[in-house]
Chain A
Amino acid sequence: MGTENKSITVQMRGITKQFPGVLANDGIDLDVHSHEILALLGENGAGKTTLMNILAGLYQPDAGQISLKGKEVEFQSPKDAISHGIGMVHQHFMLVESLTVTENIILSLQSSGINIHANQVKKRVLELSKQYHLMVDPDAAIWQLSVGEQQRVEIMRLLYRGAEILILDEPTAVLTPEEAADLAKILRKMTEEGKAVILITHKLNEVTSFSDRVTVLRAGHVVSNLLTKDTSKKELARLMVGRDILFHLEKKKCKKGDSVLKLEHIHTTNDKGLPALVDVNLQICTGEILGVAGVAGNGQRELAEVITGLRDITSGKISVNGKDISNSSPFEVIHAGISHVPGDRIGVGLAANLPVSDNLVMKAYRKPPILQGQLVKKKNILQFTKNLIEVFEIKTPSAETPARLLSGGNQQRLILAREITASQGMLIAVYPSRGLDVGATESVRSTLLEQRDKGSAILLISEDLEEITQLSDRIIVLYEGKIMGTVDPESTSLETIGMMMAGQPPANITKTGKEKKTT
């Protein structure tokens, strides 16, 4: 594809950025060419996003230079970067939810004066829509749009401002396989017109299916620059992690027992009052992991919340070991033996400013030996805490250290330690390895398998298909709050699951094979 006119447009040299306690970028050199898609590959914490935030003007480097078409530049703010044609689509979209598409685009335009020129902007949006196949309704409010559409608004916004270099941070994490394929087409179209695209990713699939060239980062350094066609997933994985990684966890055969948790005809609504779960039926048995696949925002969060008592159901029945716990309080659910590793680690799972010890006893404090009468025994808390830190290998300076100072992996180990200890046979794990590095991910996953082998019933909600297929004994796919079907991870292809995630019932898929139905 279009190798003829390639020329270096961005040159980053010796970029160094220090954050308190972390050297995020250490003397990084990077070249970006026009007419091509560059993948910036690395684990979480490798420094990819920091480097791109520097290029996009959001951060200023402590050392190093950036040149654009041979001319040295310095960006004091995103405004500077944008005026030089560099734009970034962040992982968390930078859109104002309560405003419309057009209003969001107007916001991004450099203009003085008070007029908002809504009609002109709308016209240009429609033109760009056509040119790049970016279908968006200019009058819709952002909160009404799907994640894929929101991403298109972000891209549209950069194109509108004439961006020549587009940076996308983990763009497919939130997309169905189908939407991802559309995105690839859009990006191709843009490189054909001479633009440069940089893709930040830690997914090998994304590198191989999207990019022309790949730069691998590890621990703040560039470890390799390769042409995508000359490399393999295996090589990339080794470069990214620095050692060979296990693509398959040791997984014993599942010894499924009696049914523990049962959901019958569950309906509920989301925060906006719209249906979030529609007639959901499922059950989980001891010694089994039930995986819930689906694109984020299709009812996963609500599913975890109705089971754990954080959200009321509008109809249906939830039972644990035959006992009805529909619309019970979180306290009653915990009492019934259900533990919960929440998706939002900092926001829900921890009181981040309190010490590790206070966080570890968040469930145990109501029972002896910690609780004696109405008093909590400091000495017993300390003992309890020390024990868990040791058994679950939580790396913390001390039991008194505030939880927020721990690394993401250790925070998650803390939560797992607490929840597994409190659990009586049932665990709900939501995005358990999100944002963790490879080592921590491995450890979290093997902990979950270990629990399964000990006879726990585990509901695993994840947006990482690889994780779901690796760990689960059965998989259900959620789409718009409905279960599209239950499949066996051994005998089902990723494509099939992917199509179910996009809303196709499994029956259709087997009939039409791998053919994609346009919606």
Chain B
Amino acid sequence: MNEAFILSILIITIRAGTSLLYATFGAILTERSGIQNLGVEGIMMVGAASAFAAAYHSGNAWIGLLTAMFVGLILGCIHAFLTITLRAEQVVCGLAMTIFGTGLASFMGQRLGPGNTTMVGLQGPAFERIAIPYLREIPFIGEALFNQDIMVYILYILIPLIWFFIYKTRQGLELRAVGENPQAIDALGMNVTKTRFIYTVVGAILMGIAGAHLSLGYLQGWADNITGGRGWIAIALVIFSTWNPLRAVLGALLFGGINALQFRMQAAGTTLPSSFLNMLPYIATILVLVLITMIERKSKKLGTPTALGIPFVREEKK
């Protein structure tokens, strides 16, 4: 293995990890507030489709990104309204979101090309790689870390920001509390419903962004089933991260790395059939889940927000 090979793996690791991490952050914020959103896959898919469509027709990748955020907001509102306001079963609602989102994205993919045709195979505007002067010169990691697209750089800023937000600000404290003991937050006069609504929607916007990075940054184009289970892997990463954004970074790098390895091995002409290579991330997800569950059981320090998945009800007598 030579240096160039490892470098290329590093570069793809970060590119592939980016969209995973946006989605994971979205799911962490949502789940921290006590709401489970299993619709990540669906929201990412619609995000990717709408981002590409909007970017293609406007000729501007930024408009694509904004569109994906808007779509995430709408889908987030649907999930929030159903699970928070109407107290619908959160697991099933998330599954419904995934089915709906997959259908909608596939519909858009077949319809939103030029003249109501397919978007598959189209080339559109994308977030191109921008090298950052000086930083890029850092030996070895410079090229991997600082010759990426703008959404990667935004993520670099977002990582410490989200960490600081969750652990060091008043709003972050409220967020942590509302997922642990909403009754307490309610008794203190804060609005549980509003807090949960906000984070569910913000989380969904991040999931939309994650989709946008797939079609505008990482893969640069639209293909059916473009997310390929990344939304679900993001949910697994939330468990892996024990709801801590810094550990999520680690997880995203791990899975980005698996993606990169898969790519490189394929390119290098391995004898392993591509179907098996493509199984890697899914097998890895199962293994990681098994491992983290075993470790957490042993240490008995579960990071799961206590009220996760439980609707909040105030005025009710048994």
A residues neighboring B (CB under 8 Å): 19-20, 22, 24, 56-59, 77-82, 88, 90, 92-99, 103, 106-108, 110-111, 113-116, 271-273, 346, 404, 408
B residues neighboring A (CB under 8 Å): 168-171, 173-174, 176-177, 180-181, 183-191, 300, 306, 314-315, 317-318
Are A116 and B170 in contact, CB atoms less than 8 angstroms apart?
Answer: yes
The 8 Å CB contact of A24, one of B169, B173, B180, B317, is: B317
Top 7 A-B residue pairs of the complex, sorted by shortest distance between their CB atoms: A79-B189, A94-B184, A78-B189, A114-B169, A94-B187, A96-B177, A19-B317
Are B185 and A107 in contact, CB atoms less than 8 angstroms apart?
Answer: yes
Q: Considering only CB atoms, which chain A residue lies closest to B171 in the complex?
A: A114
Cβ of A111: which chain B residues have Cβ within 8 Å of it?
Answer: 170
Complex CA distance for A108 and B177, rounded to whole angstroms? 11
Complex CA distance for A50 and B276, rounded to whole angstroms? 62
Cβ of B187: which chain A residues have Cβ within 8 Å of it?
Answer: 56, 58, 78, 88, 90, 94
Known contacts being A79-B190, A107-B185, is A96 close to B176, with CB within 8 Å?
A: yes
Are A106 and B189 in contact, CB atoms less than 8 angstroms apart?
Answer: no
Cβ of A81: which chain B residues have Cβ within 8 Å of it?
Answer: 189
Known contacts being A80-B189, A94-B184, A97-B180, is A116 close to B317, with CB within 8 Å?
A: no
Question: Taking the nearest CB of chain B, how far is it from the CB of A312, in angstroms?
Answer: 14
Complex CA distance for A111 and B170, rounded to whole angstroms? 9
Question: Taking the nearest CB of chain A, how far is it from the CB of B161, in angstroms?
Answer: 12
Cβ of A93: which chain B residues have Cβ within 8 Å of it?
Answer: 184
Are A115 and B170 in contact, CB atoms less than 8 angstroms apart?
Answer: yes
The 8 Å CB contact of B173, one of A20, A80, A97, A116, is: A116
Q: Which of B168, B177, B183, B188 has the most CB of A within 10 A?
A: B188
Complex CA distance for A108 and B188, rounded to whole angstroms? 6
Question: Taking the nearest CB of chain A, how far is it from the CB of B116, in angstroms?
Answer: 47
Are A98 and B170 in contact, CB atoms less than 8 angstroms apart?
Answer: no
Cβ of B169: which chain A residues have Cβ within 8 Å of it?
Answer: 114-116
Cβ of A106: which chain B residues have Cβ within 8 Å of it?
Answer: 170, 173
Cβ of A404: which chain B residues have Cβ within 8 Å of it?
Answer: 318
Are A99 and B170 in contact, CB atoms less than 8 angstroms apart?
Answer: no
Known contacts being A78-B187, A79-B190, is A113 close to B170, with CB within 8 Å?
A: yes
Complex CA distance for A19 and B190, rounded to whole angstroms? 24
23 pairs, A vs B, C-beta closer than 8 Å? A58-B187, A58-B314, A59-B315, A78-B186, A79-B188, A81-B189, A82-B188, A82-B189, A92-B183, A94-B184, A95-B181, A95-B184, A96-B176, A96-B177, A96-B185, A99-B173, A106-B173, A107-B185, A114-B170, A115-B169, A116-B168, A116-B169, A271-B300
Q: Considering only CB atoms, which chain B residue lies closest to A272 in the complex?
A: B300
Cβ of A116: which chain B residues have Cβ within 8 Å of it?
Answer: 168-170, 173
Complex CA distance for A105 and B61, rounded to whole angstroms? 46
Complex CA distance for A115 and B165, rounded to whole angstroms? 10
Complex CA distance for A267 and B236, rounded to whole angstroms? 37
Cβ of A22: which chain B residues have Cβ within 8 Å of it?
Answer: 317
Q: Considering only CB atoms, which chain B residue lies closest to A76 in the complex?
A: B189
Complex CA distance for A138 and B140, rounded to whole angstroms? 47
Complex CA distance for A346 and B318, rounded to whole angstroms? 10
Complex CA distance for A24 and B315, rounded to whole angstroms? 13
Are B177 and A273 in contact, CB atoms less than 8 angstroms apart?
Answer: no
Q: Considering only CB atoms, which chain B residue lies closest to A435 in the complex?
A: B318
Complex CA distance for A263 and B41, rounded to whole angstroms? 53
Complex CA distance for A148 and B191, rounded to whole angstroms? 28
Cβ of B171: which chain A residues have Cβ within 8 Å of it?
Answer: 114
Question: Taking the nearest CB of chain A, how far is it from the CB of B171, in angstroms?
Answer: 6
Question: Taking the nearest CB of chain A, how far is it from the CB of B297, in angstroms?
Answer: 11
Q: Considering only CB atoms, which chain B residue lies closest to A98 in the complex?
A: B180
Cβ of A99: which chain B residues have Cβ within 8 Å of it?
Answer: 173, 176-177, 180
Cβ of A273: which chain B residues have Cβ within 8 Å of it?
Answer: 300
Are B181 and A94 in contact, CB atoms less than 8 angstroms apart?
Answer: yes
Complex CA distance for A300 and B284, rounded to whole angstroms? 43
Complex CA distance for A59 and B183, rounded to whole angstroms? 13
Are B184 and A96 in contact, CB atoms less than 8 angstroms apart?
Answer: yes
Cβ of A98: which chain B residues have Cβ within 8 Å of it?
Answer: 176, 180, 306
Q: Considering only CB atoms, which chain A residue lies closest to B189 in the complex?
A: A79
Question: Taking the nearest CB of chain A, how far is it from the CB of B298, in angstroms?
Answer: 9
Cβ of B190: which chain A residues have Cβ within 8 Å of it?
Answer: 79, 107
Cβ of B306: which chain A residues have Cβ within 8 Å of it?
Answer: 97-98
9 more A-B contacts (CB under 8 A) besides A19-B317, A78-B186?
A: A58-B314, A78-B189, A96-B181, A98-B180, A99-B180, A107-B173, A116-B170, A272-B300, A408-B318
Cβ of A96: which chain B residues have Cβ within 8 Å of it?
Answer: 176-177, 180-181, 184-185
Cβ of A115: which chain B residues have Cβ within 8 Å of it?
Answer: 169-170
Question: Taking the nearest CB of chain B, how far is it from the CB of A339, in angstroms?
Answer: 25
Complex CA distance for A57 and B314, rounded to whole angstroms? 12
Complex CA distance for A90 and B185, rounded to whole angstroms? 13
Complex CA distance for A404 and B316, rounded to whole angstroms? 13
Q: Which of B306, B314, B318 has the most CB of A within 10 A?
A: B318
Question: Taking the nearest CB of chain A, how far is it from the CB of B310, in angstroms?
Answer: 13
Are B177 and A107 in contact, CB atoms less than 8 angstroms apart?
Answer: yes
Question: Taking the nearest CB of chain A, how far is it from the CB of B304, in angstroms?
Answer: 11
Question: Taking the nearest CB of chain A, how far is it from the CB of B294, in angstroms?
Answer: 15
